[in-house]
A and B are shown apart, each in its own frame.
Chain A
Amino acid sequence: MNRLNKLFEQKNKPLLSIYFTAGYPHLSSTMDIAEALEKAGTDFIEIGFPYSDPLADGPVIQNSSQQALENGMTLKILFEQLKDLRKQISIPVLLMGYVNPMLQYGVEAFCKKAAELGVDGVIVPDLPMYEYEELYKDCFIQNNLSNIFLVTPQTSPERIRKIDALSNGFIYLLSSSATTGQNMNVSIEAKTYFQRVKDMKLYNPTMIGFGISDKHSFDAASQFTRGAIVGSAFVRLLGESDGMERIPEFVHSIRG
């Protein structure tokens, strides 16, 4: 059981998770942002390790990844920046990124290093379920890392069941089949899909992400799940000159 599992066991109010890209806006911003988010009351955070071809991301996070790479961010540097992670913050931390940098680093070495630093899980949108199960599952389990799978409105019930069986943290429901940063349309269709997944009474808790940008969308999402994840709206804030100072205000505006 890791920090993420404990968090989901204890808290009953909707959980707020916030994503940001490591090394953006400045190479050294990573831990300052993490500390500010914890202080402001974020329940857990997702730290993105940038990739040159971020296929699930919309323009805001794409730009932040590009900027982070230009700032010199690499997985090795990120791990260096996280060396005192557990002296600095205590909330659960997930790493989010794409599979190629992990492959280059070595998935086993990646898992070991992440666990050593006190990371609780990983979200890798382009890591297929089959490869995870066949090649990496044991490594994740040995290192007590949760692997977070994504579910879209098009995912079949059979596949959702299979994902549920392979998951040990939460399941990430995409509000639509688009990239990150589109405004969530709380349409009848979206609600039907969220309700459909809720009615499946999955073993794992669920969180909704992609398109959650404010209190309205956060509250709407939280009716169907344990909480929601904000990414692009927060990364957009970080891009502003006074973004760092406005982190508490941003978090409080979503929490209400």
Chain B
Amino acid sequence: MQTDDGQVIEPYSISAGLDYPGIGPQHAYLHQIRRAEYVSITDDEAMQAGRLCAELEGIIPAIESAHALAYLEKMKFTGKETGVICLSGRGDKDLDTYINYFKL
């Protein structure tokens, strides 16, 4: 994320790990060869999905991973697929953010 002059633009994400203006070269490449599809999720969708995972599975996902969980609802399944979601980090570190967001 940068201006035309090459200055870094301050990014925004509710998730500290996504609050970063760059993107890894592997992701850029996978996107370019259309091997992977990249989508976006709002703060609210991610937070709701994170909470649901905690309620249903007893696992508090990191807010980064909660973005992936949120996309499950938007996908169309035939019933034959196996879905894999990587929970890349634990949500203990994000408890403050969860508590403040849901006013728990």
Contacts and interface: CB of A to CB of B under 8 A. Distances in A.
Contacts of B8: 52-53, 100
A103 interface: yes
A132 interface: no
Interface stretch (A2-10, A69-77, A186-194, A214-222): A69-77
A240 to B, nearest CB: 27
23 contacts: A51-B6, A51-B7, A52-B7, A52-B8, A53-B8, A69-B7, A74-B5, A75-B5, A75-B6, A76-B5, A100-B2, A100-B6, A100-B8, A101-B5, A101-B6, A101-B7, A102-B6, A103-B6, A104-B2, A104-B4, A104-B5, A104-B6, A105-B6
Contacts, number: 25
Contacts of B5: 74-76, 101, 104-105
Contacts of A74: 5
A49 to B, nearest CB: 9
Nearest to B7: A52
Contacts of B2: 100, 104
A52 B11 CA distance: 13
Contacts of A101: 5-7
Which DSSP category, helix, strand, loop or mixed, fits chain A's interface? helix
Pairs of residues from A and B, 10 with the lowest C-beta to C-beta distance, nearest first? A104-B6, A101-B6, A74-B5, A52-B7, A100-B6, A52-B8, A53-B8, A101-B5, A75-B5, A69-B7
Interface string A65-101: 0000100001110000000000000000000000011
Contacts of A69: 7
A132 B63 CA distance: 40
Interface residues on A, range: 10 to 19
B15 to A, nearest CB: 21
Contacts of B6: 51, 75, 100-105
Interface string A91-128: 00000000011111100000000000000000000000
Nearest to A50: B7
Nearest to A103: B6
A69 B9 CA distance: 12
B69 to A, nearest CB: 32
A101 B2 CA distance: 10
A2 B61 CA distance: 60
Interface string B48-63: 0000000000000000
A104 B4 CA distance: 7
A104 B8 CA distance: 11
Contacts of A104: 2, 4-6
B22 to A, nearest CB: 11
Residue among B2, B4, B6, B8 with the most chain A CB within 10 A? B6
Contacts of A53: 8
A42 B66 CA distance: 58
B48 to A, nearest CB: 34
Interface in A21-79: 51-53, 69, 74-76
